[in-house]
Structure 1
Amino acid sequence: MTATIQGTKTAALGLGQRYIWLRHHQVPAGARHDAHIVTRFPLPPGLSVPQVRTVLGHLIRRHEALRTTYHHDADTDPWQRVHPAGPVRLVEATVESDGTPTPAAVVEELTTAAFDLAADWQLRACVITDGGAPRQLVLVLNHMAFDAWSVDRFERELEVLGTAVATRRPASLDPVRFQPLHLVGYESADTAFRSRRERAAAFWRDQVARLGPDPFAARRSAGAMTPHAATVTSPSALAASRVVAERAGSWPSLVHVALFSALTAAYTGDGLVRHWDFHGNRGEDAYSDVLTCRFSPLLTIVDGRDDPPFSELLRRVAEQQSEGRAHAALGHDEMLETLARQGAARGTDLRVGVEVNFLSLAAHEARVRRTTFVRNAAPSAWAAFGSDAYLLITELRDAVSVSLRASGTVMDAETVERLLRGYETVLLALAEPGADPRMSEIAAMLGLGEPGERIAVPDGGEPVAGSPEALHALLAAVAQAMGSDVGAIDPDRAFVANGGRVLRLPRVLDLLCESGFEGLRLLDLAGATPLRTLADQLSRIRSTGATTDCSPAAADPATTNAPQ
């Protein structure tokens, strides 16, 4: 539903914004930049800095998503507020040595500073000048307002407007038919869409019932360990993926998903592979051209327990993704609630800790002639989210780049390298005439060792008994966020099993912090763990002497683009 308050418009979050909302509140502020989108635009000659500001101001007026803030300061579901258009703060940095911070330093600060969702607009801008003339525009975009489609549209409109202003010619842009709040109204009130949501809920209940608790159980070790990341870039793999796809009448993206499923099964020993597939929800509805985030991870479950040949595995991947997209009318919070309810019924968390993302960037080149392997810096910001692994496949004009990030609790650096090198080896083998190995044969190519060879980590020490104070604080926070009485909350059931909504968990964490307790993460509360067990965890954290600062961070004038 939408409303108007003191000249601003308000509404609930859209379905496509909920994953980013939850991710934002799952990780500490210092790690949130991992989800920022950074883009650079060469500016046409003839533009002045005031004209760049004018172009951005026009886009701010045109698209409400760019001047929207997001709130959870009440015991209700989170909501968004659209503010009236106002001036855009444009940071300037020069390439000249004049004693001011360098462009690199300015961009680094804008990129790494967390957005304050309740105070900042969702765009930061820096113009880089040379001799006073603008040469490049750098934008830092918040994923709450942008998905890949929205970024592309924004870039095209920026180019059209910039060229028009520089050449003093009229600009022609497609009309804006709908704004994000129109989409929210459709998702909440349209009868046909509500029927789709009901069918989707039933479909995913059945799908989740198939899952076991933890696919990495045979490999996982407890304790904090350094995450690992590496990238393999292969010109040969580009042609190979297309050969395999053409032979099967499929898409290269699905070939990569099927291959990663086979490798994951080989490493974990679990033939029922599951992952979150990063998927855009832009279908054929009337709101397909709204500039906002319509992205939500799609749960993909691939059954390879009968050791199928790769061609059959690929067919199953295609079928699963088609079925998933046909039932993509739930928000990520509702998917987590479905997993939590099924987990609570079994007395264990159902973990989906792997994310897969495929990008097609045909306009970009790797400019390598042979396979390259690079160990990347430890992805600490990514690891703060708590995933087990993240695979990014980028199809370039001249190569395929495959990047793997992995938690140190499930893979060491050598395993990451072996998986990536094996990825290329298997893909090239699949492209050979007549090649159709079974999953067991693919596993043999990798030589990963038997599941059960866990990574050694230090002992976590003696357990600490829970305190009544921690339990009371947790139950009180849950009750207030749910709009319920403390006596109605069962401490021996999980948050969702008590009727809690995952979207309200940021409010629970805020209330806990105000009571002097910190350390739980949003996804800890979103699972099947009973509240009493989580209260014991809070007690252990308190026993370490951790301190809490619940005061909201002040907006940094060097980075914020707050409503005027």
Structure 2
Amino acid sequence: MTESPDHPAPPRTAPADRVPLGLTAVVEGLPDETAPATWSQQALWHCLQWRGHDAFFNQYGLFPLPERRTGEEAVAALSTLMRDCPTLRTLYDDAGGSLRQTAHGTVRLPVPVHAADETADETAEDTARRLAHAVGRRLRDEPFDSTADWPLRAALVTAGGLPRFLVLAFNRIALDSTAAGLVDARLTALLAGTEPEPPGSRTPVEQARHESSAQGRATATAALAYWDSALERTPTGLFGHPGGDPAEGGRFVQKRLASRAVTAATQHLATRHRVSTSAVLLAATAALLRVRTGHSLLPVQVISANRADSEQADLVATLTQDGLAVLDLRQAATVADVIRAAFTAGTPAYWYAHCDEQARRELIARHTVRRGAPLDLGVYFNDVRGPAAAPDSVGAPEELKALAEETTLSTDGYWDRIDARFFVSVARFDDTTLVMLQADTVYTPEPVVEHFLRAFEKLLLTAAAAEEDVSLESLPVITGLRPDEPVIA
């Protein structure tokens, strides 16, 4: 599945001559199954409600069709996918104040066909790809009504009368990034004519029943006990008062750093300190926040995949929830100290993220009332890098510097409303690490967002190349970040 960069305007369309103008994916003969929503579905539902059920979380992808694959065969493969993955035929109902899910046994999903004219300037494949991205964006950008709309939309794109791409758009409540990868692999196999094994994990309905079992209740109890302890240590004064006007494009901005140097330096530091690369990236986030805020007790909500259980490893559904890592840097003197603190705080935060969502929100509310002020839970860290072979460690300063010369910085977009003040995400494309910072420009002005990302890379490269531990006191000089800039009070 190909996620969607922006492309030029689509070519004009014309009727397909060898493909039907409309097809339908069909599932029938299965029973309807109803259960309470899972904890993760509840978490996504809450986010969707807060945003007014807009299209912010929607995703789309392109699936190239093998040669000689007909449009009917492509839609038959989609029908099989929906049959095998109940989350793709699930609707939700919050009547009575309790969210419930129903996996429907009978589905008819329209698959319209979009045909592109060939041009003299590009191949039929390229013309079809451009149109497929345009169709995907249109499907993605229309909000889903999770109570009435199937959580995916589909279209077939043709060129020269031949089917070229199957385009799918997903409602985020149906699939997290891991599940999207599972769907990608499964549908790709089906389109190639291979019948994959049925998913081995629970269905979402079975997951909900598990969460209501004695074992599930024990999991929730342990997780809530951890959250209770972490919230006790969460400060209320991390963010100060707003420091400026919002950015012209929108109050919230996301910038993106693409760096092979970050990939190499992160692996080098993880190997040196015998921790995960995720811990190193979380540490870089925390060390720079310490510089910016002047605070040494830093709460960071981490997005957990919640797939340590073998029964959940390949569950095609959303399982992500927030964990809370409180990094205590009060005794930290070096970047190495912060890396160890990130590993120590991050491990239980990820482990105890899977819990009763409603009970977690009630617990946060009780702590807020008792403390007399909102807790500072607006900093997030999300590592969405998929599994990949570790790159060779690169430590020589001249090698890291050469890699850093290839680094690019770009703007992803602006929004008026996001439920976070400072959100760092890391992803990977081949051997390039993508570091995205989404920030509230009232607290973090747009130029400082760019400065933070450059400092993120500089910190990692300096620490990886240094023969001795880098002191935290030296970071303002090394990175150029200083607490007197109007970033976070």
Q: TM-score, normalised by structure 2?
A: 0.82
Secondary structure at the aligned position of 2:154 is classed as strand
Partner residue, 1:482: none
Residue 207 (1) aligns with residue 240 (2): no
Q: Following TM superposition, by how much is the alpha carbon of 1:424 offset from its aligned partner in structure 2, in angstroms?
A: 1.1
Q: 1:48 to 1:233 in 2, by over 3 A?
A: same
1:175 positional shift: 5.0
Q: Distance in 1 between the 2:406 and 2:354 partners?
A: 40
Q: Which residue of 1 aligns with 2:319?
A: 294
- One-letter code of the match for 1:370? E
Counterpart of 1:181, as a letter, is: V
Other-structure match for 1:86: 107
Give yes or no for contact 2:304–2:322 (8 Å, CA) kept in 1. Answer: yes
Q: What corresponds to 1:371 in structure 2? A: 406
- Is 1:28 aligned to 2:49, yes or no? no
Q: Equivalent residue for 1:422?
A: 455
1:491 is aligned to none
Tell me the equivalent position of 1:141.
170
Match of 1:43 in 2: 65
Match of 1:275 in 2: 300
- 1:77-226 correspondence to structure 2 within 5 Å: 77-96=98-117, 102-164=131-193, 171-174=195-198, 176=200, 178-189=202-213, 191-217=214-240, 220=243, 226=251
Q: Structure 1 or 2: larger strand share?
A: 2
In the TM superposition, residue 129 of structure 1 has moved relative to its aligned partner by 0.7
Q: Among 399, 422, 425, which residue is 1:392 paired with?
A: 425
In structure 2, the CA distance between the partners of 1:318 and 1:307, relative to structure 1 (3 Å rule), is closer
Query: Is the 1:213–1:349 Cα contact (8 Å) retained in structure 2?
Result: yes
1:16 equivalent to 2:40? Answer: yes
Q: Does structure 1 retain, via aligned residues, the 8 Å contact 2:305–2:319? A: yes
The alpha carbon displacement at 1:108 in A equals 2.4
- Matches of 2:487 and 2:192 in 1, distance apart? 58
Structure 2 equivalent of residue 477 of structure 1 = none
The Cα shift of 1:203 comes to 1.8
Write the distance in 1 (CA, Å) between the matches of 2:199 and 2:485: 58
- Assess if the C-alpha contact under 8 Å between 2:306 and 2:351 holds in 1: no
CA distance in 1, matches of 2:485, 2:184: 48
Does structure 2 conserve the Cα–Cα contact (< 8 Å) formed by 1:10 and 1:82? yes
Q: Secondary structure at the match of 2:157?
A: strand
Deviation at 1:305, TM superposition (A): 2.1
Structure 1: distance between partners of 2:412 and 2:218: 46
Tell me, yes or no, if the aligned pair for 1:69 and 1:81 is still in contact at 8 Å.
yes
Equivalent position amino acid for 1:65 in 2:
T
Q: SS where residue 117 of structure 1 aligns?
A: coil
How far apart are 1:88 and its partner, in Å? 2.3
Q: TM-score, normalised by structure 1?
A: 0.72
Asked if residue 434 in structure 1 is aligned to residue 467 in structure 2, the reply is yes
Q: Distance in 1 between matches of 2:107 and 2:412?
A: 39
Unaligned 5+ residue runs, structure 1?
1-5, 165-169, 457-564
- Answering whether residue 94 of structure 2 is matched by residue 67 of structure 1, we say no
State the distance in 1 between where 2:93 and 2:114 align.
32
Match of 1:494 in 2: none
* SS at 1:410 equivalent: coil
How far apart are residue 396 of structure 1 and its match?
3.1
Q: How much does 1:22 deviate?
A: 0.9
Q: Is the 8 A contact 1:232 1:402 kept in 2?
A: yes
| Aligned with 1:236 (options 256, 261, 269) | 261
- Structure 1 residue 307 displacement after superposition: 3.4
Over residues 293-323 of structure 1, what are the superposed CA-to-partner deviations in whole Å (9 max), with x where a residue is unaligned?
A: 1111211111112333222221121122222
Amino acid at match of 1:393: V
Shift of residue 106, structure 1, vs aligned partner:
2.8
Shift of 1:163: 1.1
Specify whether residues 226 and 107 from structure 1 end up closer, same or farther in structure 2 by C-alpha distance, changes over 3 A only.
same
Equivalent-residue separation in structure 2 for 1:404 and 1:175 (angstroms): 35
Q: Residue 57 of structure 1: which of 64, 79, 87 is its match? A: 79
Change (3 A) 1:105 1:399: closer
2:201–2:310 Cα contact (<8 Å) kept = no
Q: Distance in 2 between matches of 1:452 and 1:120?
A: 47
**Do the aligned partners of 2:244 and 2:445 also contact (CA within 8 Å) in 1?**
no
Verify the 8 A CA contact 2:230 2:325 in the aligned structure 1. Answer: no
CA contact (8 A) 1:269 1:451 kept: no
Matched residue type, 1:156: A
Would you say the 8 A contact 2:303–2:382 is kept in 1? Answer: yes
Relative distance call for 1:250 and 1:175 in structure 2 (3 A) is: closer
CA 1:334–1:264 in structure 2 vs 1: closer, same or farther (change >3 Å)? farther
CA distance 1:454–1:276, shift in 2 (3 Å): closer
Corresponding position: 1:258 with 2:294: no
Deviations 1:136-194 (A, max 9, x none): 12211112111122112211111221111xxxxx62424555321111001012x1331
Q: Partner of 1:446 in structure 2? A: 479
Q: What code does the residue aligned with 1:401 have?
A: L
In the alignment, the residues of structure 1 paired with residue 136 and residue 32 of structure 2 have an alpha-carbon distance, to the nearest angstrom, of 31
Contact 2:240–2:488 (CA under 8 A) maintained in structure 1: no
Cα deviation code 1:477-527 (max 9, x no counterpart): xxxxxxxxxxxxxxxxxxxxxxxxxxxxxxxxxxxxxxxxxxxxxxxxxxx
Please state if 1:405 is matched with 2:426.
no
**CA positional deviation for 1:205:** 0.8
Superposition deviation, residue 95 in structure 1:
1.9
| Native 8 Å contact 1:70 1:81 kept in 2 | yes
Which is further off, 384-393 or 415-424?
Answer: 384-393
1:298 aligns to what SS in structure 2?
strand
Instruction: Tell me if structure 1 keeps the 8 A contact 2:223–2:352.
Output: yes
Aligned AA (1:186): H
Instruction: Please state how far the C-alpha of 1:25 moved relative to its aligned partner.
Output: 0.6
* 2:56 match: secondary structure: helix
- From 348, 355, 358, the equivalent of 1:330 is 355
Q: Classify the secondary structure of the residue corresponding to 2:183.
A: helix
Query: Residue 21 of structure 1: CA displacement?
Result: 0.9
SS in 2 for 1:325: helix
In 2, the alpha carbon distance for the partners of 1:18 and 1:127 equals 32
Q: Decide whether the 8 Å contact of 1:219 with 1:453 is kept in 2.
A: no
Could you tell me the percent identity over the aligned residues?
23
User: Measured at CA, do residues 407 and 11 of structure 1 come closer, stay the same or move farther in structure 2, by a change above 3 Å?
Assistant: same
8 Å Cα contact 2:40/2:320 also seen in 1? yes
Q: Which amino acid aligns with 1:394?
A: A
**What does residue 459 of structure 1 align with?**
none
Q: Is the 8 A contact 1:218 1:451 kept in 2?
A: no
Does the 8 Å CA contact 2:282/2:342 hold for their aligned counterparts? yes
